[in-house]
Structure 1
């Protein structure tokens, strides 16, 4: 892992994502090294390099503090092209320092992460006037997670983090995405139940988007039997498969009285 400290000129950038006005990315690159990540395509980073470097934007909390006084109020997304609570955050604490600055303003904050490290910052998150925290949990099968998200925290740690956030009264959502193509329709009820039991307020579901290079990256790492399932459902049956998954998630969200959204 190559770690490089850099200095930035800006902290907040305009976001193209729905419901997010500004993107805040304390890091460039991500240690989680998820095989399906869209960021290499967005930032024009060679996919073979993804997960092998992280740039640390050392001065971003200071720059953010200045921008919060000048910019029009809007929802800040932490983060959109990195995971704000990837392993380097444990030492650098840039995401925590940024949340502390946002807590001094009236800007709403939307945090999304795969890491249970988020619970470290519950104290400062509770000081933000409007905050929601999303945990990305695309499967309950940790053996499969190890293939597609090799450095990201185990699923049970994410669920425990979700439970703790809920217990502390922090509004939350599960980003059930990309929903792994191995998921069977009759497994959806159990998945939704699990999220609800751990305190999910809303479930946002998404499919696996095949940006350039993503399928090749996934394919070469999957066992043969799983590769066949993925190939069939991502190419031959894609729309039908994901439409059925989305409908089933929506049905059980209604049954358990939690919010449902389909991403993008």
Structure 2
């Protein structure tokens, strides 16, 4: 673990807001991630993180964030959780995410937090304050089985802990939901797993659910993922190689059918399969009379 100086802290997406999460600005307060999910796309070469296990703390993140928030003319949703988890274990002591949320609240920006960690519940007070503008919290859950989550997401809280966090957020009045992303071919792509996640998420009070029926595979990320498959799921790598080759997107078998069933199940339980995005307030016109 080391401290580094960042050049900037908010990066604007090219086609903002993005169609999945409604995010316009990405915010990453750390580099690397302690959750060490075996499938994480952030290991890809394009992100230029040589050692993903070495956590780098952006020491000047908060001062940069305040300066950048003051300069932004467009008040649009800030997303956190794209390159790493904003609530990985180091956050418990460092509190970069909590203090960033305080600045976001002070400058009246909307926020969308994406996490696998129950630590997000610590910041319910800040999230409720920001919700006067817009707050969304998405909890990623890829398996209904705690024992499997320990294998594929070894540094993250297990699924049952995430569901408890989801329930706490929902009961606090926070707009929240679940992301089943990724769905791993031949591992988590069973109808039983998807149904169990949906049912438990509905019970916990999720407002929405979204799923990506597959996993990305490229360069270093693919190599790392295949190493873990060899260790925990012997014989699965040849199956991946035969089916996906050098494809970037590895969709599960019958992805269309599974997506359709997922959508129907969510809707039957009162959950949306798309998020509600931040909507800027409409300027009020002055009356001449």
TM-score of the aligned structures, taking structure 2 as reference length? 0.81
CA deviation after TM superposition for structure 1 residue 8, in Å: 2.2
CA pair 169-151 structure 1, distance change in 2 beyond 3 A? same
1:146 correspondence with 2:150: yes
- Report which stretch shifted further, 228-237 or 90-99: 228-237
Runs of 5+ consecutive residues of structure 2 not aligned to the other structure: 245-250, 276-289
SS in 1 for 2:215: coil
1:72-87 counterparts in 2 under 5 A?
Answer: 72-87=74-89
Gaps of 5+ in 1: none
1:202·1:259 contact (CA, 8 Å) conserved in 2?
yes
**Bigger Rg over Cα:** 2
Distance 1:93 1:233, change over 3 A: same
Rounded Cα–Cα distance in structure 2 between residues aligned with 1:55 and 1:132? 26
Paired residues in the alignment total 257
Match of 2:54 in 1: 53
Q: Find runs of 4+ consecutive structure 1 residues off by over 6 angstroms.
A: none
Instruction: Please give the alpha-carbon distance, in whole angstroms, between the structure 2 residues aligned to 1:154 and 1:54.
Output: 21
Do the aligned residues in 1 keep the contact of 2:144 with 2:193 (CA within 8 Å)?
no
- In structure 1, what is the Cα distance between the partners aligned to 2:165 and 2:237? 29
State the 1:211 CA deviation.
Answer: 2.2
Is contact 2:183-2:252 (8 Å) kept? no
**For the aligned residues, what is the CA RMSD?**
2.3
Deviation at 1:55, TM superposition (A): 0.8
Q: Which has the larger displacement, 217-226 or 174-183?
A: 217-226
Q: Within 2, Cα distance between the matches of 1:250 and 1:229?
A: 28
Name 1:212's counterpart in structure 2: 219
Q: Provide the C-alpha distance between the structure 2 equivalents of 1:168 and 1:65, rounded to a whole number of angstroms.
A: 27
Partner of 1:198: 204
Alignment of 1:236 onto 2:243? yes
